Amino acid sequence: MWLARRYLIFAGVVGLLVSLGFMVYMAAMSEQQAVVVAAEPISAYQKITSDMISVEQQPASAVLPTSESDPAKVVGHYTTRRWYPGEQILRDELIYPGTQAGGIVWQLTEDERAMAIPCGPDTAVGGAVLPGHLVDVFYFRESSVHGPATARLLLSGLRVLDIRDSSGAPWQAEDREQLSTAVVAVTTHQAEAISYAMSTGEVYLAVSPYHPEAAQQGEGVTGGNLFSYPYAVDPPGDVKDDEKRRDSDEHESWQR
């Protein structure tokens, strides 16, 4: 008799707990929250557009803490991994374009590559080159099977992304002797030109003004024209004589 009553009391308590748990579960399920999810497969390192995502109402208990509810905070950012349809977009797995949060890759445009140019104080403005500067690349080649000794402006207006020391760590400006590498943004064709130049000669960096038209492509300097106009300080004698004859002719024409 008492044993049966105990079983009834135990069953009643279990039933009450189950009912309360079900009610709590239903209450949690009924509370919905907006969340941004992938509307299609999104590859890693891809720029998110508005048609790649959608907003869904999901149970609040299923929404992850770092998820986004506003599509405007997602569009235009880059992914750091692959997302599948229906998967929540997490803000800590997005990279803002033009920032260094995910490395220099996020500072590049679609047609740019990051390339390292070995350098030192003697080939990079005495160590005065800094990230954000624009630099011109000058090429020097000694006389060889590739041709006579030549110095020439190779490329102009390259954007410096980073400066590294001899250990590969970020370079400290106060320790200029440790300057080892300048990382610049280049196109594929520019990367090919720099690669060839480094393999056949030397490259020098010169800080450029912030307007591309400031750099003027010359014909290149060789032993044959090093002391010729316009590379010498004064024009050579034949140029001076031509200028004198032109001035004399203009003067005689004016007198007539």
pTM: 0.54
Query: What is the pLDDT tens value at each position of the chain, 256 positions in all?
Result: 555 666 556 555 556 665 666 555 555 555 888 899 999 999 877 889 999 999 998 888 888 888 898 999 899 888 888 889 999 999 888 887 655 555 677 777 778 899 999 888 888 888 888 888 999 999 998 877 767 788 888 998 899 988 887 766 666 655 656 668 889 999 999 999 999 999 999 999 999 886 655 556 666 777 767 666 565 555 545 544 554 444 444 434 433 4
Per DSSP, the residues of 135-185 read EEEEEEE-SBTTBS-EEEEEEEEEEEEEEEETTSSBPPTT-GGGEEEEEEE
Cα end-to-end span (Å), the chain: 144
Q: What's residue 239's pLDDT? A: 47
Answer whether 153's CB lies under 8 Å from 221's CB.
no
Amino acid sitting at position 122: D
Give 31-97's CATH code, choosing from 3.30.450.40, 3.40.50.300, 3.30.1360.120, 3.90.1210.10: 3.90.1210.10
Q: What's residue 76's pLDDT? A: 86
Q: What's residue 162's pLDDT? A: 87
> How far is CA 101 from its chain centroid?
11
Q: What's residue 254's pLDDT? A: 34
Q: What's residue 226's pLDDT? A: 66
Nearest-10 Cα torsion for 204, 205, 206, 210:
150
Q: What's residue 81's pLDDT? A: 83
State pLDDT tens for residues 200-209: 999 999 998 8
Q: What's residue 168's pLDDT? A: 63
Gap between the Cα atoms of 122 and 201, Å rounded: 15
Nearest-CA neighbor of 195 among 104, 118, 121?
118
Q: Which helix (H) or strand (E) holds 24?
A: helix 2-30
Q: Where are the domains of the chain?
A: 31-97, 107-222
